[in-house]
């Protein structure tokens, strides 16, 4: 089974990066602070994570800082998976 970080990274590239954007995105690339994902469209990522991993991410934890890299996102999801 694919590792969570690979699944999340693949989703982010598919969801937020256009083919002509010419961007290299890795697990530790800043997403929000770099402008790849803005605070408005971040909700799509939250919906994906909640559906994919059957969890509920509270708004006060699904913050721009907590979503800023794939590594941080994986930490947050794992915490809520118990």
Partner 1 sequence: MAFTDKTRQLFAEEIAAIKEKGLFKEKRFICSPQGAAIRVEYPEGAAQEDVLNFCANNYLGLSSHPDVIAAAHEGLDSRGYGMSSVRFICGTQDIHRELQDKVSAFLGMEDTLLFPSCMDANGGVFEAILEPEDVIIADRLIHASLVDGIRLCAAEYDTFKHMNMKHLEKKLELHQDKRTRLIVTDGVFSMDGDLCPLDEMCALAEKYDAMVLVDESHASGFIGKTGRGTHEHFDVIDKVDLITTTFGKGLGGASGGCVSGKRELIELCRQKARPYLFSNSMAPPIVAASIKVIDLISASTERRDKLEANTKRFREGMEAAGLNIRPGETPIVPVMLYNAKLANDMSRDMYAEGIYVIGFFFPVVPAGQARIRVQLSAAHEDEHIDKCVAAFKKVGEKYGILGLDKKGIIDKYGM
Among 1, 2, 19, 40, binds partner 1 (CB under 8 A): 40
3 binds partner 1 (CB under 8 A): no
11-25 burial, b at 16+ Cβ within 10 Å, e below that, comes to: bbeeebeeeeeeeeb
Shortest reach from residue 66's CB to partner 1, in Å: 18
CB count within 10 Å of CB 49 equals: 23
Shortest reach from residue 3's CB to partner 1, in Å: 24
13 binds partner 1 (CB under 8 A): no
Please give the distance of CA 13 from its chain centroid, rounded to a whole number.
10
- Interface residues with partner 1 (CB under 8 A)? 15, 18, 34-35, 38, 40-41, 43-44, 47
């Amino acid at each position: 089974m694919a590792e969570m970080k690979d699944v999340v990274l693949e989703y982010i590239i598919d969801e937020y990066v256009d083919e002509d954007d010419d961007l290299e995105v890795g697990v530790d690339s800043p997403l929000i602070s770099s402008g790849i994902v803005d605070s408005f469209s971040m909700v799509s990522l939250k919906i994906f994570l909640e559906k994919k991993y059957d969890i509920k991410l509270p708004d006060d934890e699904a913050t721009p800082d907590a979503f800023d890299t794939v590594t941080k996102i994986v930490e947050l999801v794992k915490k809520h998976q118990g």
